[in-house]
Amino acid sequence: MKPQAVTAARRGLLACHVCMLVSHPGRELDHVCCPRCGAALHVRKPDSIARTWAFLSAAIILYIPANVLPMTDVRTLFGNTEDTIMSGVVYLWTSGSWPLAVIVFVASIMVPMLKIMALVFLLVSVQMRSVWQPVQRTRLYRLIELVGRWSMLDIFVIAFLVALVQLRALATIKAGPAAACFGAVVVLTMCATLSFDPRLIWDPVEDDHG
């Protein structure tokens, strides 16, 4: 039999998520506060799986209008053009600025999609109590935590385009309905990432070295 990993939870200890102090909860297990900083202590993030699924399913639903509806609406003397995220990338590519097309493609299309897929994978593997590659799965979580914020890029770009291109009769740019949906997807996937507890990946793992 492999040696059991000594985790705080198995020893009945609680680690504070604010100041990192490891403490003994005493007799009652509800509403325990950290003796050093006073933050509420939990063995694992409360309702981690349910909350992450909730944020994630809302994000998946909004991901559809964010990609199908127009992101920007450009009005010039020669008529209107509405651009979705993808057609904006295609436009950048065909007009010759391919480095920019790659940046926008990665930040607005690849990152949100891969993030949603990775979170679904992590949640399903945790719910199946999988012991497969816990180190790699923890790394995957660290990666989505790190790159998730970069999806906000397109929102900032649109904000400055709208503010600058108000040239009276010549041309105006308006944010389309997809902008709000896309912003919501970014916020919801970030909330999903924050409410997921990576320690759940390790709970089924008995071996000290993964």
Partner 1 sequence: MPTGAILACHECDLLQHEVRLEPYGVARCHRCGAQLYRSRPHELDRVPAYILGAFILYVISNAFPVVGLSIGGELVQATLLGAVHGIYADGDWLVALLVLLTAVVAPFVQMIAMAWLLLSLRMGRAPKNFSKVFRVLAFVRPWGMVEVLMTGVLVALVKLARMAEVVPGIALWSLAGSMLLLAAAWAAFDPRLLWSKAGEAR
The 3-state DSSP class for residue 139 equals helix
Shortest separation between residue 203's beta carbon and partner 1, angstroms: 8
How many beta carbons lie within 10 A of that of residue 105, not counting itself? 19
Residue placing its CB nearer to partner 1 in the complex, 14 or 116? 14
Shortest separation between residue 67's beta carbon and partner 1, angstroms: 16
Shortest separation between residue 59's beta carbon and partner 1, angstroms: 14
Shortest separation between residue 198's beta carbon and partner 1, angstroms: 5
DSSP state of 174: E
Question: And the tokens for 32?
Answer: 């325990």
Pairing of strands 40-41, 72-76: unpaired
How many beta carbons lie within 10 A of that of residue 63, not counting itself? 19
What is the rounded CA–CA span in Å between residue 193 and residue 160? 28
Q: How far is CA 73 from the centre of its chain?
A: 27
Shortest separation between residue 76's beta carbon and partner 1, angstroms: 10
DSSP state of 31: S
Question: And the tokens for 109?
Answer: 């299309």
Chain residues binding partner 1 by CB under 8 A are 5-9, 11, 13, 15, 17-22, 36-39, 92, 95, 97, 100, 103-104, 134-135, 138-139, 141-142, 149-150, 152-167, 170-171, 174-175, 179-180, 183-184, 187, 190, 194, 198-199, 201-203, 208-210
